[in-house]
Structure 1
Amino acid sequence: MSESTETITELLQSIGIDTAYRTASLSLLEKGDSRYLRDLKLNFTSTLTSEHLSTKECALLGLSVAVNNNNNPLIAFYTKYATEQGANDAEIAEAAACASLLASNNIFYRFRHFTQKEKYSQIPARIRMQIMMKPVTGKEFFELMSLTISAVNGCEMCVNAHEDSLIKLNTTEERIFDAIRIASLVTSAGAIIN
């Protein structure tokens, strides 16, 4: 077994996927004996823990990003991991709901930002957002999930608004930075494992 195949096997085992599983992207890395496979494995592993987030929070952030990216293997992994870290069904559902809500918000507010027309800012959004009022994961963590999804989706206006809310909620910049780091690495893994 080549070193690349061995690294892929370890990565797939850690995600709970059959070691014979291959995507076109994963096959390209394996065929080219890419050194990146080791980085991919280590980066993915680093999404599971943080100095500034609990393991349950890491799992819920990973789940929310996997739902946002419509990545079924990672949704299954992070759902299981979140449960193992003490997340209940309502918290897991909220991570998925946050991804869905922010998908609409990011498109809507990004459009307003791109056009910069006052008229569009005056027309009511008519997007239901009741989940933001009393989230089961708490206001601060829901804002953190919202920020990560907004960053993944590239909505500058939303990123700035959620980061500002988090600072006002006394969230440390290190905590915010770690959440974004995790989101970027879940997205990176999902580009190869999908």
Structure 2
Amino acid sequence: MGLDAIKAALPEYAKDIKLNLGSTIATSTLTPTQAWGTALACAVAGRNPEVLREIAAEAADHLKPEAVEAAKGAATIMAMNNVYYRAKHLIGDEQYQSIPARLRMQIIAKPGVDKADFELWCLAVSAITGCGVCLESHEKTLRNAGFSREQVHEGLRIAAVVHAAAVTLDAKAALA
């Protein structure tokens, strides 16, 4: 169950991902809430059912129920925000910046967990979806909240590995 099940499901060509799964999450310098919340938010963003089920099961051992909900909330709000803000940025017309989003984002104001942890989860999801505007915004908020570059870096490492596991298992299933 959990990370061990994901590692067992990964094909031999993904050996590096197997090794990195354990070393990024289990030995992270982040708090368990930060690391497992990041992993869970990224598993939601990764969209692979097996990765999501296994990480959610193991994360439940490390997170309070409100942190589980907040991590899932971070992934879902960023699914919307990353598309919206990335698109406005990529259009390249500055006039779009003055148009209000008019999209509900209440969870950002009251995530149910430490605001900085929620920001970390949003940053990690933004790394997966590739929204530069959101990455910059969340990194700045984290740094202003006292997070070190190393802590931000840890969140990015977890995002990269969880996403790679999801992509690999999607490809394995598609080619089976």
Gaps in structure 2 of 5+ consecutive residues? 171-176
| Percentage of matched positions with identical amino acids | 31
The amino acid across from 2:94 in the alignment is E
Pair 91,51 (structure 1): closer, same or farther in 2 beyond 3 Å: closer
Instruction: Select the structure that is richer in helix.
Output: 2
Equivalent residue number for residue 14 of structure 1:
4
How many residue pairs match? The answer is 170
Residues 53, 178 of structure 1: 8 Å contact kept: yes
Equivalent residue number for residue 79 of structure 1:
56
Equivalent residue number for residue 60 of structure 1:
37
- Whether 2:173 is the aligned partner of 1:183: answer no
- Structure ID, larger Rg: 1
Equivalent residue number for residue 117 of structure 1:
93
Gaps in structure 1 of 5+ consecutive residues? 1-10
**Residue 162 (structure 1) shift:** 0.7
Residues 47, 166 of structure 2: 8 Å contact kept: no
Equivalent residue number for residue 16 of structure 2:
39
**Residue 83 (structure 1) shift:** 1.5
**Residue 113 (structure 1) shift:** 0.9
**Residue 117 (structure 1) shift:** 1.4
Determine which structure has greater relative contact order: mean sequence separation of CA pairs < 8 Å that are 6+ residues apart, divided by chain length: 2
Question: What TM-score do you get using the length of structure 2 for normalisation?
Answer: 0.87
**Residue 13 (structure 1) shift:** 8.0
**Partner deviation per Cα, 1:94-150 (whole Å, 9 max, x = no partner):** 111111110111111111111121221121101111111122221101110111111
Pair 44,51 (structure 1): closer, same or farther in 2 beyond 3 Å: closer
The CA RMSD over aligned residues, in Å, is: 2.2
Cα separation, 2, equivalents of 1:80 and 1:99: 17
**Partner deviation per Cα, 1:16-52 (whole Å, 9 max, x = no partner):** 79x6x6xxxx5xx5xxxx5x44322111212322442
Residues 60, 92 of structure 1: 8 Å contact kept: yes
Cα separation, 2, equivalents of 1:122 and 1:103: 22
Cα separation, 2, equivalents of 1:138 and 1:13: 25
The amino acid across from 2:38 in the alignment is L
Cα separation, 2, equivalents of 1:37 and 1:166: 32
Pair 169,188 (structure 1): closer, same or farther in 2 beyond 3 Å: same
Question: What TM-score do you get using the length of structure 1 for normalisation?
Answer: 0.79
Cα separation, 2, equivalents of 1:13 and 1:68: 17
